[in-house]
Structures are given as C-alpha cells and as structure tokens.
Chain A
C-alpha cells in the first residue's frame, strides 16, 4: 500500500504529435517573462534544442501560434507569447487544478472516491443543499416551459419544470442521468397521515433525522429512505407548530419549478 500524494498528470496532444505537459507549459511561461526562448530554456534548465522542440509542439497544438518571433526592437530576435499562448497557459493550469482535486479524493479513500464525487470535483460545486442524482424517465414539452419526470429511487419520482430553451441547451434525453438541485429554503414540510393536498408536485414522505434551530430558522433533515435525505430550511415557528423532532414522520414538499437540473 502506498502512502503520499497521488498526482494527476495532464498532457495535451494533437493527433500523433508530441505531448505538451506541465514542463512545456512552464517553458511557455518562462518565454513570456524573459521574452526569449534561449533565456527561457536556461531558466527552466532545458537544452536549446529541447526548448525549440517544445515550442514547436506547443505551436502545433493550437490553430494559431502560441509563440511568435519578435523582430526588431532594442534586443531583436526575441520571442513573444501570443494571446492564444496565454489562454493555453491559463486553461492548462485550470484543468491541472481540477484534476489535482479529483486525485486528492482518491487518496482520501472511502465513499469520497466514487465516480460521482470525482466528476463533481471536476466541475462546479453548488450551494444547493439538495443534490439528487436521478434518471430522466419522461419529458413533456411545452412552448415556454417543459416538465421532466425524474426517477430518484424505486419509490420516489421528482418533477422538474424548466424552460423549453434550457431543455434544448442542455440537450436532455430520456434515460439520461442528471442532478436535480433544490435549495433548502424551497422545501416545505407537512405532517399528517395522507399525502398533503397541495399543488406542489414533489411530495416525499420521510422521517425527521435531524433538527437544528437558529433564532428564527430551523434546519430539518428528513430521511426519505434508500439512503437519501432532504434538507429543509423553515421558520422555527413552523418547526414548533409541527412539533418536529427526530423520529417525527413528515412530508417534504417542493414545487417542480424550484428544481434546477444540472448535467455533467
């Protein structure tokens, strides 16, 4: 068993060409700061030939050159990193950073290394407390809005209403895996034996697993079965009126229009 960090090593490569990795990007940055390939090679500790090979590999990667020769001027014969070159440097570091985060998850072990968390660490993190991985089972088109029916578990379906434009933009298809995001303040709670007769499309039965009170707000975590939970932020008055405490059965209610759909 190995200890220590796992590094994610990134290399960009055009078809059949020499790969551009961390070291070559470092050379590019050195060219930008020294204004000369020779000086950059010295700074990085590369031979002149190796530096030229690297610059060629980088230039071959992009539609337009990353480094151009600078003629004239006081020193003459220098090199300039173009806007495209700068963009490449920025993009490379951004991807490297995201990959490093994903790699760190692998070493932390446990559930954190599941493919979903890895994917998430490559993309955006959101503040939404409820993020449900679902499968799209049905899409109902309208002119302005459209409705998605999502399978969360064998017994729980979610309904989401998004704009028809978003549906087209995201190119969502039945059978696709998506993430349904719901802010905690959008979730209402109800007590009672039968399904609450409210218009909210999402009405999920569960049991209070946790209640934390602030001066005016309460955070309630509802266990909805199959290892899933829903987090609701309601008024403390509401939590008191419903007499919510650990073990109390309750319904989580939220409107379909309050569900944001995220795709990978």
Chain B
C-alpha cells in the first residue's frame, strides 16, 4: 500500500485508552511520543495492542509549525 500522506512515523504503541466512541493511542517514535485520537472501532478493526509496531500517519496539511 502506498499512501499520499507525506508523514509516516514508525513507532511502537505504548498506550491505548478507550472511550465509548474514540480512543487515545500513543506511539513512541523514538525519543518522542505521538498521540493520536482514532475511533474505538478502528482500534478493534486493526487489533491494536500495546507493543505493536505501527506508523503514525499525518497529512502535510495537518501539520502546524510553532516557533
């Protein structure tokens, strides 16, 4: 699969906190953590578990720059 999104950060799932509809999934990308909010359905669909090797996908248009 090739994705148009420019940012695919490889890391490991270190935390999954499920709500009713959305879940917080933290990914350790080596030195830094990326926090994502995805649907609980997706967590179950992907069978996400702590320790899974994943990619955090971020569309270029979604990235803010702070100086």
Contacts and interface: CB of A to CB of B under 8 A. Distances in A.
Interface of A: 140-147, 159, 161, 185-186, 188-192, 194, 196-201, 232-235, 237-239, 241-242, 253, 255-257
A197 B36 CA distance: 16
B4 A161 contact: no
A116 to B, nearest CB: 29
A145 B22 contact: yes
Contacts of A186: 59, 61
Contacts of B61: 185-186, 233
A145 B20 contact: yes
Interface residues of B, number: 23
A234 B37 contact: no
What secondary structure prevails in chain A residues at the interface with B? mixed
A199 B60 contact: no
Given A190-B3, A192-B1, A199 B20 contact: no
Contact of A161 (B5, B21, B43): B21
B49 to A, nearest CB: 14
Contact of B22 (A185, A192, A196, A257): A257
